Amino acid sequence: MSLLSEFGTGVNAVRPGRTRMPLFDAPLIVVCTTLVLFGLLMVYSASIALADGPRYANYGQYYFVLRHSVFIVIGVTSALIVLTVPMRVWEHLAVPLFLFCVLLLIVVLIPGVGREVNGARRWLPLGIVNFQPSELMKVAVVLFAADYTVRKQEHMQNFLRGFLPMTCALAVVGMLLLLEPDLGAFMVIVAIAVGLLFIGGINGRLFSVLLGSMVLSFLALIWLSPWRRERLFVYLDPWNPENTYGSAYQLSHSLIALGRGEWFGVGLGASVEKLHYLPEAHTDFIVAVIGEELGFVGVAGLIAMFAFLVWRGFEIGRQAIAMDRTFSGLVAQGVALWFGVQSFINIGVCIGLLPTKGLTLPMVSYGGTGIVMNIVAVALMLRVDYENRNMMRGKRT
């Protein structure tokens, strides 16, 4: 009886520990919420002066921050819906969603259908908003690459059945994106797909061939495109007077903004470069405004939050794979790859580490479809974590 009593006490001691486990990763939610709200604040700071210029004279001071707020609400609403869908359903939807996105990338190139801005045809007009298919493709390629890796697991060492199909799929997506053109989105999508193939155990030689061919393709695209080649060379010497007032104009003013910020910044809202000196201060170069207003400390804190987000994504993925939920684990790690690569490129461009490329900072920069898809991607990661925790509790998802 005494032994039974002790056993019962032991069970009762374990159950509270299990029930106290939160359903969601609270630190991850806090960091992601902080990034989104911080981005809203910095979009407001970086865009409030745009209405003073002729290009945005009819927009009003609060145009961008209000639209950004609306898209955040749409993103959060979409994320709540995504959170209710089990990962096994997303696994079944992976291929259809990928094919649907390929179709949208074709539709956006049709004259009269896709909207053209500054020579790029990347948007589908949907009344008062524009939809960017390449942003949805980033979510689709995370799901597709994860599903592909699971389905082709036994063929990952084979060229024809493991390597070639994914290469062809990426080639089709790449061709469509380059016709827009949108090299930045293509770079992120390739990084996601190649990264998940590597994690999934693709043959080392095949991976080297794939990686090498992609690098050579990117170099060829840069070399064969005069304006891309010019960007590369001016990046190497941005302070040359010809470059500073030409193709390196954005980079030079971004570096000036970061230099003005020093350690602690000039103060929130006190940026000078956002006053029509630095183009796209609220989108591609928002880190420059952050650096000017909040200094090195502000940028370092931003990088720390992204580092935590990427680490948690890989950790959630590792836990899922350890519980034989490979697809779910690869999805979480694919989202982490996406945010890690895109934030590295954006911040690298702003600080002069990389050539200028039109990529926004996830969850921070102004953007319609982009911010919605970023929040949806976080919801996918949280769904994987939620199912991990339920399995640890002994529940079926």
What are the residue boundaries of the structural domains of the chain, listed by start? 25-392
Mean pLDDT in runs of 10 for the chain (397 residues)?
41 48 88 97 93 78 93 97 96 97 94 79 85 95 95 78 84 90 89 89 75 76 70 74 78 93 94 90 94 97 98 97 95 97 95 85 93 97 95 77
pLDDT at 10: 43
Tell me how far apart the terminal alpha carbons of the chain are, to the nearest angstrom: 37
pLDDT at 19: 54
Helix ranges (DSSP H) in 262-350: 286-322, 326-350
Where does 95-184 show beta strands of DSSP type E? Answer: 115-117, 120-126, 129-131
State the amino acid at position 147 in one-letter form: D
Instruction: Tell me how far apart the alpha carbons of residues 218 and 141 are, in angstroms, rounded to a whole number.
Output: 19
Instruction: Tell me how far apart the alpha carbons of residues 369 and 126 are, in angstroms, rounded to a whole number.
Output: 12
Confidence (pTM): 0.90
pLDDT at 395: 74
- What is residue 276's DSSP assignment? T
Phi-psi region of 112 (alpha: psi -120 to 50; beta: other; left: phi over 0): left
pLDDT at 173: 94
- What is residue 368's DSSP assignment? S
State the amino acid at position 98 in one-letter form: F
CA Rg value for the chain: 23
